[in-house]
Structure 1
Amino acid sequence: MKILALDISASPGVAVIEIKRNRPKLLYVDSVKTDTKFSDSQRYSYIEAFAIKAIHEYGPFDAVVREKYTGTSRSKRAKQLVYGAWAAIDMALGKYGYSIDEKDEIVASAIKKAVSGKGTADKEEVADGVRRILGEDIEFKSDDASDAVAVALTYALLNGLIKEESENGR
């Protein structure tokens, strides 16, 4: 099974994991930082191209998932940027016949709890949990990259596709 996972912001992260024999393998992880010197339309085009590259090079996928965006405690401008990035990624997914159902969106606290053991984990605790589950000492380009992997692993854990390392004997 191959999962495409997205952590969407104005600087989104993308991850692809493959699951064989209940074990996750990270195939791809990256993030892109958009620059405020460019217009919003240019930033969104860049995000769309970034998503298309991952979808084109690593598809097809059995599942496409993302962190659920709630927009709480953010400025109007921050929300606008996230919604624009969200739409750009949806356009990229649509070009390859993918869409994301609400059931394939996972709230941040569930992601944090699944990979770190606590729903209030900080970014470094999430990255450490991802490393522990994968059994690899990965250096992530950004928090968005590690968060995207966390989304994929959470989906796999919640759907019984993988088990925690203690249960796998790793």
Structure 2
Amino acid sequence: MGKYLYGLDLSLSCTGVTIYDLEEKEFVYIGSLNTEKVKKKKDLYHNALKLKDIHDWLKGLKEKFPPQIVTIERGFSRFNTATQTIYRVHGIVNLLFHDVNQIYYPPKTVKEAIYKGDATKAQVQKIIKNNFVYIEFENEDESDSFAVALTYLIKNDLIKFEKPIVEKKKRKTKEAKKGRAKLEDF
């Protein structure tokens, strides 16, 4: 078994990967594979070529950095065709890492571990950069993969991470919303 934690943000167009060394306690790889450059060919299915590129790239990373655990941002169903396509990528990854413990985190869980459940990707990325000033991301896929790996590390107390305090908004009473004053206010 390996000694690395993987954080994956899967996509058919650009997959992000973050790898953390569990023994040395450091991030050793942050990268992404953009498959938009894959050209259509007459005799091969376009998406199959992208899937093969993703498979081959991840297989190389797996050989170089043998994983002990793989964390994956769980997909969501928004547009049926896009959802079906992305789950093909999940299938490739599930097969490739069949011998490794795989943990799926919903996007809201990832955001909540780092800041708050309804945070934007930009807010999460800013908090990560504030805590890890030496980290650079080339795209959102890389920062999303980092956030997924970080979620595992936080939830398992494997890293020191100070979550920012979220200030709660003051709620107005129904009377205040309607412009009515209470008797106690006089």
Scaled by the length of structure 1, the TM-score of the pair is 0.80
Q: Is the 8 A contact 2:68 2:101 kept in 1?
A: no
Q: Which has the higher contact order (CA 8 A, sep 6+)?
A: 1
1:63-78 equivalences in 2 (<5 Å): 63-71=69-77, 74-78=78-82
List gaps (5 residues or longer) in structure 1: none
List gaps (5 residues or longer) in structure 2: 41-45, 164-186
Deviations 1:27-73 (A, max 9, x none): 001111222744011111111112112111111x22211112232xx
Q: Is the 8 A contact 1:90 1:99 kept in 2?
A: no
More helix by share: 1
Alpha-carbon distance in structure 2 between the residues aligned to 1:99 and 1:112: 22
Alpha-carbon distance in structure 1 between the residues aligned to 2:27 and 2:81: 33
Larger radius of gyration: 2
2:153 to 143, 153, 156: 156
Letter in 1 for 2:87: Y
2:132 matches 1:139: no
CA 1:54–1:9 in 2, change beyond 3 Å: closer, same or farther? same
Identity %: 26
Q: RMSD of the TM alignment (CA)? A: 2.1
Q: Is the 8 A contact 1:49 1:92 kept in 2?
A: no
1:1-150 equivalences in 2 (<5 Å): 2-10=4-12, 11-19=14-22, 24-35=25-36, 37-38=39-40, 39-59=46-66, 61-71=67-77, 74-94=78-98, 97-100=99-102, 104-115=103-114, 117-133=115-131, 135-150=132-147
Scaled by the length of structure 2, the TM-score of the pair is 0.74
